[in-house]
Amino acid sequence: MTAAPDLVAPVVAFRAWRVVDGDLLSPYIPCRWDGPVMHAECYPANRALLFGRGWLAEPHDPPHPSCRCGIYAHHRPGTQPYYGEFQWVDGIVAVWGRIEAYRDGLRAEHARVCALGCRPGAEAIARRLGVDLVEPDALEAAAARYGAPLPASLVP
């Protein structure tokens, strides 16, 4: 076994949130981002999602390689299209702690919102969280201000 790499710069990635009543919510689970920093937990309620498929039965530290828990983010902005009745906003996050890397994205133990894309309602949220507001088509270029992407050698 080799030692984990020491990533000197913060790892940046991209994610989207639902905007509901002026708050950021995770896309698929009822998780509200009350502040700019989020710490992942594998909640017992998650185990009921998808009839328990993909979730470990016992509590553990997220993200776990055999579970779906963790804070999801993508290597590029706009990777995941979202549709439906909610307003959506894309943004930049810095992630740290345990990280599970995948071809299109990652799951992390901790994340901090660095910037939100300009969308209706995003300005008030960005101001409340104390984060930057960036034009949606400039998110990828702006990410360099907050850190570096996961090194290509760590992406499967």
Distance, CA of 32 to CA of 23 (rounded, Å):
7
Residue 63 lies in a domain: no
pLDDT, residue 83, reads 63
Residue 24 lies in a domain: yes
Residue 53 lies in a domain: no
- Domains in the chain, number: 1
**How many angstroms separate the Cα of 131 from the Cα of each of 47, 90, 105, 110, 143?**
32, 13, 22, 17, 13
Residue 59 lies in a domain: no
Report DSSP state, residue 21.
Answer: T
The conformational region for residue 130 under phi > 0 = left, psi -120 to 50 = alpha, else beta, is left
pLDDT, residue 1, reads 46
3-state secondary structure of 141: helix
The tokens of 129 are what? 């969280």
pLDDT, residue 31, reads 86
Residue 155 lies in a domain: no
Q: Domain span at residue 20?
A: 11-40+71-150
Contact 91, 115 (CB under 8 A): yes
Residue 45 lies in a domain: no
Residue 78 lies in a domain: yes
pLDDT, residue 17, reads 93
pLDDT, residue 112, reads 98
Residue 109 lies in a domain: yes
Q: Across the 156 residues of the chain, what is the mean pLDDT of every consecutive 10-residue run?
A: 63 94 87 93 61 60 85 87 76 95 95 95 95 96 96 89
pLDDT, residue 11, reads 95
3-state secondary structure of 137: helix
Instruction: Residue count of the chain, please give it.
Output: 156
